[in-house]
Amino acid sequence: MLHEKNIQDAFENAQNQIRHACNLYDECRIDVNKFELVSHPRRIIEVNIPVRMDNWLIRTFVGYRAQHNDARWPFKWWIRFHQDVTKEEVKALSLWMTFKCAVADLPLWWWKGGIIVDPKELSEWELERLSRWYVRELYKYIWPEQDVPAPDVNTNPKIMAWMMDEYSYLVWKYSPWSFTWKPVTAGWSLWRWNATAQWGLYVLQEILKVEWDTLKWKKIIIQWAWNAWLIMARLLVKEWSLIIWIADSKWAIYNKDWLDVKEIEKLKKDKLSVVYYEWAEQLADKALLEQECDILIPAALENQITKDNARDIKAKYILELANWPITTEADHILFEKGVIVIPDILANSWWVTVSYFEMVQNNMNYYWSEAEVNAKLYDKITKATLDVYWASKNHETFLRAWAYIIAMKRVFDAMKDRWEV
């Protein structure tokens, strides 16, 4: 979780990236009034949620909901339960996610929601009551044609099922389309978990293809052995890539030939650190970013590559699967070095895309096979990646700049067609 100071920095950083990108070229320049329209969320709702605890005492929790922009329809939003949730956090994430949807060209606009709570301190019954009361406080502002929530930090399909059930009860109608990322029995889209890694793989493959390159025998570093990125590692191995470094929250491990991803998956399934892997050397997590490799995949925290270590990066390609892992200053240094950075705004849009697919299927009450979902995912990512790549090539600048430019042009086109801006 980002601390409040880091969230504020991230909010300002996102604004600066947008402003910088859109002032690079005359055809993309935006005036002060237009930028002001997207600089802040349209509205923020704060609610006090009373919950009867297992000891029969009432405890009040604070929840937020920030709507960023409604020029396109409907809103798509994510709910997180965490003790460090702040108004600044939901504001920052709602802004950033609007442009991520625009890059993938999804007909969605964004808002964020959260409750200040440490869910580990609650029993399952308390967690369910909190989830249902959150819906009771906000259900008048949530409906399938306008606002469709999904899980984020410390929320999951079970919580979405509780919330969907509560919403259905309040509106007197079974409404599986009111929430996404639900259990399969409640209308979850197939291929959801695999889409986490598959999207990143497709983006990487498309960039390599237009660079006349392949994944075969590429040496790869993955920073963070989380479930989804272990799936990514498995998919990369199937493409004959070599995972030589991998890290978790404590340590990184290295083998100059290759690491056995299946063995590492077994360790993580048993909740053990990668340090228990026997056939590798160990070092501190941060040090792995500067090691020799072909492809570097930062998939952990923000601000991992800065102006202080950017010149020491030896990878030819960087695939950002974390949010904000590279600072603005580092972006320019890496571009000058010839490193191709595939930005987070493009590389990790998998979850909102398949969540959108779930919304479509729920509304049709007709569900696609895994193959159909995967094919539609591939079509979306191919177009989004090539749009960004060729625009950046034509204007000789880095991918992130044109990802933001394309997103901003789509945002303002929608606003122009509906409003007087």
Reference 105, options 340, 403, 374; nearest CA is 403
Q: Output phi, psi for 132, to 5 deg.
A: -70, -40
Is the pLDDT at 33 greater than 90, yes or no? no
Q: What CATH number should be reported for the domain whose range is 41-188?
A: 3.40.50.10860
pLDDT at 135: 92
Averaged pLDDT for residues 246-269: 84
- The reply to whether domains 41-188 and 193-347 share a CATH topology is yes
Mean pLDDT, rounded, for 283-306: 84
Residue 144 has pLDDT above 60, yes or no: yes
* Cβ atoms of residues 185 and 368 within 8 Å: no
- Tell me which CATH homologous superfamily contains domain 193-347: NAD(P)-binding Rossmann-like Domain (3.40.50.720)
To the query of whether residue 112 is one of the catalytic residues in this protein, the response is yes
pTM to 2 decimal places: 0.82
- Rounded to whole angstroms, the Cα distance separating 260 from 263 reads 6
Q: Where are the beta strands (DSSP E) in 263-404?
A: 281-284, 295-298, 317-319, 340-342
Domain boundaries, the chain: 41-188, 193-347
Unique residue bearing structure tokens 């978790």: 248
What value does the mean pLDDT take over residues 143-147? 64
The DSSP element (H or E) to which 43 belongs, if any, is strand 43-52
pLDDT range class, residue 286, cuts 50, 70, 90: low
The 3 state secondary structure assigned to 204-273 is HHHHHHHCCCCCCCCEEEEECCCHHHHHHHHHHHHCCCEEEEEECCCEEEECCCCCCHHHHHHHHHCCCC
The yes-or-no verdict on residue 2 having pLDDT over 50 is no
- Out of 112, 182, 219, 380, the active site residue is 112
Q: 164-213: per-residue pLDDT in tens?
A: 999 999 989 888 777 877 777 766 666 566 666 787 899 999 999 999 99
pLDDT in tens, 318-377: 999 887 788 888 998 999 999 999 998 898 776 678 778 888 888 888 888 888 888 888
